[in-house]
Structure 1
Amino acid sequence: MTNAVAPAGLPPFRAIPDLIHENALARPSHLALRCGAGRLTWQQLDAAVNRIAATLQARGVQPRQAIAICGANSIPYVLLFLGGLRAGLAVAPLPTGATAQQLAGMVEDSGARFLFADAAVPAFEAGVPRIRMDDAAQLEAWLQAGARPQPVAIEPDWAFNIIYSSGTTGTPKGIVQPHRMRWAHVARGENYGYGADAVTMVATSLCSNTTLVSALPCLAKGGTLVLTEGRFDPRAYLELAQDARATHAMLVPVQYQRLMACPEFDRYDLSSFRMKFCTSAPFSATLKAQVLARWPGGLVEYYGMTEGGGTCILEAHKFPDKLHTVGQPAEGHDIRLLDEQGHEVAPGEAGEVVGRSASMMTGYQNQPAKTREAEWFDAAGNRFIRTGDVGRFDADGFLVLMDRRKDMIISGGFNVYPSDLEAVLRGHPAVHEVAVIGVPSEAWGESPVAFVVPNEGAPAPEELRSWANERVGKIQRLADLRYLPELPRSDIGKVLKRQLRDGYTG
């Protein structure tokens, strides 16, 4: 089922580092970057980016090579990222939650020539120079004084960054995103009010594609990027948003949930907001409705993968009756649904989501076999990216997600969707959060097990399990239900179901 035209229609390619320089020439004294007490104008930002790019060139790093960055969001982090790009390099922003062994593997896999890291990042043998990003004196000693970089003509297919997917074992896959893909994100940003007067709040890690999808259009268009500090704190976030007169925000669902639960939320003046965005994890219809009712400005949910391919967009403020969906295919995005044999399903049927657009990864770094596994080609030879998600289109062309294909439980030969069971459990007032997984079963092949973060006054787990089993079909009945103080999550709020499966003992 084709729901959009083939990839096309982007404006002529522009490299983001070139746009950064143009912003500095056009608005030198305008605030470009804010983090804590730190402030940089566009002129100051551009000069710092030039100095970093020139230093990397002087130290022998060649265009199309890489640097790695690992640490908390900060002004130096942004400058090093942009400086690497201006030198024509790929940037590998590494997850701070990774182990030392994983980080070592990622640095080696990326081919990074330098590693810039905070002191809190675990020590490991990097094999390349490690520069303290949060030590101003050490960073200053590494930089060359008064240096200006040699111009680099960046090509659209050059690697922009290498994003490492979350993983609990081994070295995560490196997703290579080209400059063309990032330019597509910038071009899309024009639809949502990004401009020189935009003030964009960033409260997720710069190592995440979730963050970059929002931060880069703001910088490319000459706005102001505001970084939060430390762990996410709802009150601190709201105070900063009010003070900065923020116009845009990207948040993950768990952050929206915490903000809506903040007793002081309605006391803050958030009238400056034009648009809020969400991606990376399931965003419930109930929570979307709360945000729409209480927070000024539009609400947009992006559904897609770091690998790119097809994106769906739900403009929730325009389609309040479609909050249970993830929206329609973005303009120029071709999204189809496949059965187990790789054939397109009939209209109205469920299938694996695959997509094609101008926003597509080059592939997985040094893993051609994994890249091939992620690809699907139609009869005309067009390349699509597989998502691993199962969904169906409704009669109006809105995509309804059902589950991750790998998370689907096959019990007694029947498909059981964890999201269905999670929805039932969320209907009980004792349930704060819930995740359902499949565990091995001699009798059924797999059986569903629920992990619940309970509210105060919750009944015994067995009582809640019985309540849920009375409301589902026979093959959907929970074999077990356990309480946890919190669900394991990635840096951007995704529930790590593999950790639940690996740690479960019946």
Structure 2
Amino acid sequence: MSEEQDTASLLAQEFGTLSDLIRVHARRQPDKLAIADDETQVSYGELDRLMDRVAAALQHGGTRPGQAVASVAYPSVGQALVFLGALRAGAVAAPIQPSATPDQIAAMIADCGARTVFLDAANADALIEQRLAAEVVLLDHLEVWLASVDNEPQLVEVGPEDGFNIIYSSGTTGTPKGIVQSHAMRWQHLSRNAVAGFDTAVTLIATPLYSNTTLVSFLPTLGWGGSVVLMKKFDANAYLTLAERYRATHTMLVPVQYQRIMALPDFDRFDLSSFRFKTCTSAPFSAALKRDVVARWPGLLVEYYGMTEGGGTCALNASEHPDKLHTVGRPLPGHDIRLIDDDGREVAAGEMGEVVGRSGAMMSGYHGREQATADATWISPEGQRFIRHGDVGRFDADGFLTLTDRKKDMIISGGFNIFPSDIEAELAEHPAVADCTVVGVASEQWGETPVGFYVPRENAKTGTGEVLATVNARLGKTQRLSALYQCNELPRSAIGKVLKRELRDRLAAGDFA
């Protein structure tokens, strides 16, 4: 039986683990490239041995099955090793965004309960003054940490509902919500990709490992036995250079990355003929940009619409449906997506409603947040659990979903979710601010960007520029306000709700110039 057939038969099982799949690849194709970054390459044989060593060292240090193992790093082979080694130890991988503030990072590490946290050099310097509630291991010194430990880890049995990883939402007040994804959910992500050709893939990844956008390509590539190439930091020209060098076949990018790549004056000089499968998710993807990618970049272009929390997923094959580029496609097989009104009742065909979804790939819940988990849940008349997507949309007669708004006013900037309420809380803390709000506005560079509006306190002497600088210093890099405007009062509805659309319209009309 060939390696491909063997992998396919394993993935056809009702349940299995990524760790076991990597072990199979290591035995059957030990010299094949598994993961590469700017400085390091590891084969499947090396990856399997290093996962064992990381797992054994974690267990030796007291990490128990089901306990989180955190990392704060830019994408690298080292971060990938501790992510995968944690899984082999029966632990839960918890990659944390370096763009968060030091206080946020410390809070997330404490919240997930990690006994060990791995830092790269850049983030170790940024967190030097934090008292992290975990043992700190520097990724640059990983070999030193591994040196005194036996290579053989204790065998751990993993069940479908056991935690696989935790992904944290953005936030600045309190602790961001940790989205717990189970092994069963990830097995669905692996097994449903039989037609994507990941077994022979060279997948170029230009987004961080703490993002689900990355993991839905990173994990299937390794599960099927392909090769992953990681970029530490995205740059459009460097991306195309790597794609040409490695003869990349697969990639997952967010819309702003596609925009920057397609805008390069010399885009057409790169040989991208090796590409077979390009995907996009995480933010609004304009029809014009999809059309340009389809026209000039070889290989299929598929847009996915879904949530880190799971729920339902839609897919749009932009190459096959040029007349549906304004939509996010149709629900995948086995994915039930419905639209409901404000009272939780399903809307009639063709009407607009809040998107809720259900599939075999759904989060277990928010870590330690029962009420937040309940708030994100809708129970159908049949008693089935759905996840609220927070978006508003409409199905057309062909079953394609068009998104019309985001119910919770979430901002998606550069592919990352930003919640206005988090920024508003920081803005409201400033002594010169009496009232405030934050909205998302269109940005050529980021897709969307957060913009703030505030009413100053009477006799406040602090200027707008100083308020902006002070607040941005307390926010994570992806959350920072691109602009702040002063106004006499915020427009509100009869029940006191800030009319954010009116502010966007006034800004577009130049009222805040």
TM-score normalized by the length of structure 1: 0.81
Tell me the secondary structure at the aligned position of residue 332 of structure 1. coil
What is the DSSP-based 3-state SS (H/G/I as helix, E as strand, rest coil) of the residue aligned with 1:192? coil
**Amino acid of the residue matched to residue 220 of structure 2?**
P
Give the superposition deviation at 1:144. 3.4
Give yes or no for contact 2:491–2:502 (8 Å, CA) kept in 1: no
**TM-aligned CA distance change 1:16 to 1:366, over 3 Å:** same
Partner Cα distance (2:450, 2:143) in 1: 46
1:24 aligned partner: 26
The answer on 1:224 being equivalent to 2:227 is yes
Number of the residue aligned with 1:386? 388
Q: What's the counterpart of residue 372 of structure 1?
A: 374
Deviations, residues 270-326 of structure 1 (Å, cap 9, x unaligned) = 111110010111111110000000000001111000000100111111111111000
**Residue in structure 2 matched with residue 172 of structure 1 by the alignment:** 176
Structure 1 Cα separation of the partners of residues 321 and 398 of structure 2: 11
Q: Given the superposition, is the C-alpha separation of residues 432 and 180 from structure 1 closer, same or farther in structure 2, using an over 3 Å criterion? A: closer
2-structure distance, mates of 1:261, 1:168: 34
Query: What is the distance in 1 between the residues matched to 2:289 and 2:13?
Result: 35
Amino acid at match of 2:218: A
| 1:448 equivalent in structure 2 | 501
Compared CA separation, residues 169 and 287, structure 1 to 2 (3 A):
farther
Query: Do the aligned partners of residues 68 and 228 (structure 1) sit closer, same or farther apart at CA in structure 2, a change above 3 Å counting?
Result: same
The residue type paired with residue 250 of structure 2 is H
Partners of 1:186 and 1:250 lie apart in 2 by 15
The SS at the match of 1:242 is helix
Equivalent residue number for residue 209 of structure 1: 212
Closer, same or farther: CA 383–447 of 1 in aligned 2, 3 Å: closer
Change (3 A) 1:434 1:98: closer
**Mapped partners of 1:10, 1:110: distance in 2:** 32
Q: Contact 1:407/1:438 (CA < 8 Å) preserved in 2?
A: no
Distance 1:432 1:147, change over 3 A: closer
Give the Cα–Cα distance (whole angstroms) in 2 for the partners of residues 265 and 341 of structure 1: 49
Give the alignment of 1:318-333 within 5 angstroms. 318-333=320-335
1:174 maps to amino acid: G
Which residue identity lines up with residue 162 of structure 1 in the other structure? I
Once the two structures are superposed, residues 438-478 of structure 1 have per-residue CA deviations (whole angstroms, 9 ceiling, x without a partner) of: 97315785253677xxxxxxxxxxxxxxxxxxxxxxxxxx2
**CA–CA separation in structure 2 for the residues paired with 1:160 and 1:446:** 40
CA gap of 1:182–1:236, structure 2 versus 1, over 3 A, is same
Matches within 5 A, 1:173-188: 173-188=177-192
Match of 2:155 among 151, 155, 176: 151
Q: Does the Cα contact within 8 Å between 1:276 and 1:297 map onto a contact in 2?
A: yes
Residue number in structure 2 paired with 1:6:
none
**Across the two proteins, how many residue pairs are aligned to each other?**
433
CA contact (8 A) 1:437 1:449 kept: no
Matches within 5 A, 1:64-463: 64-121=66-123, 122-123=126-127, 124-133=130-139, 135-136=140-141, 139-195=143-199, 197-230=200-233, 232-407=234-409, 440-442=490-492, 446=499, 448=501
Aligned-pair identity in percent equals: 51
| SS of alignment partner, residue 281 of structure 1 | coil
Structure 1's 224 and 450: CA in aligned 2 closer, same or farther, altered over 3 A?
farther
Superposition deviation, residue 191 in structure 1 = 2.1
Deviations 1:193-244 (A, max 9, x none): 111x2100010001100000000000011111001133x1111110100110
Task: Determine if contact 1:218/1:225 at 8 Å carries over to the other structure.
Answer: yes
With over 3 angstroms needed to count, the CA separation of the structure-2 counterparts of 1:98 and 1:188, relative to structure 1, is same
| Offset at residue 433 of structure 1 (A) | 5.8
Mapped partners of 2:509, 2:492: distance in 1: 21
**Could you report, residue by residue, the CA deviation over 1:172-208 in whole angstroms, capped at 9, with x for unpaired residues?**
100000011111111122221111x210001000110
Helix, strand or coil at the partner of 1:175: strand
Cα deviation 1:409-432 (Å, max 9, x = unaligned): xxxxxxxxx99x96xx99xxxx99
**Secondary structure of 2:391 counterpart:** strand
Name the structure, 1 or 2, with higher relative contact order (CA <8 Å, separation 6+). Answer: 1
Q: Any conservation in 1 of the 2:506–2:512 contact (CA below 8 Å)?
A: no
**Contact 1:407/1:437 (CA < 8 Å) preserved in 2?**
no
Contact 2:255 2:447 in 1 (8 A): no
Give the secondary-structure state (helix, strand or coil) at the position aligned to 1:370. helix
CA distance in 2, matches of 1:313, 1:217: 17
Report if aligned partners of 1:279, 1:301 keep a CA contact under 8 Å in 2: yes
Partner of 1:292: helix, strand, or coil? helix
Paired AA for residue 506 in structure 2: A
- Matching residue of 2:46: 44
Distance of 1:211 and 1:436 partners within structure 2: 23
Displacement, 1:10?
Answer: 7.2
Where does the alignment leave 5 or more consecutive residues of structure 1 unmatched?
1-8, 409-417, 452-477, 484-503
| 1:275 partner letter | F
Pairwise CA distance, 1:407? 2.2
Alignment gaps of 5+ in structure 2? 1-10, 411-438, 454-489
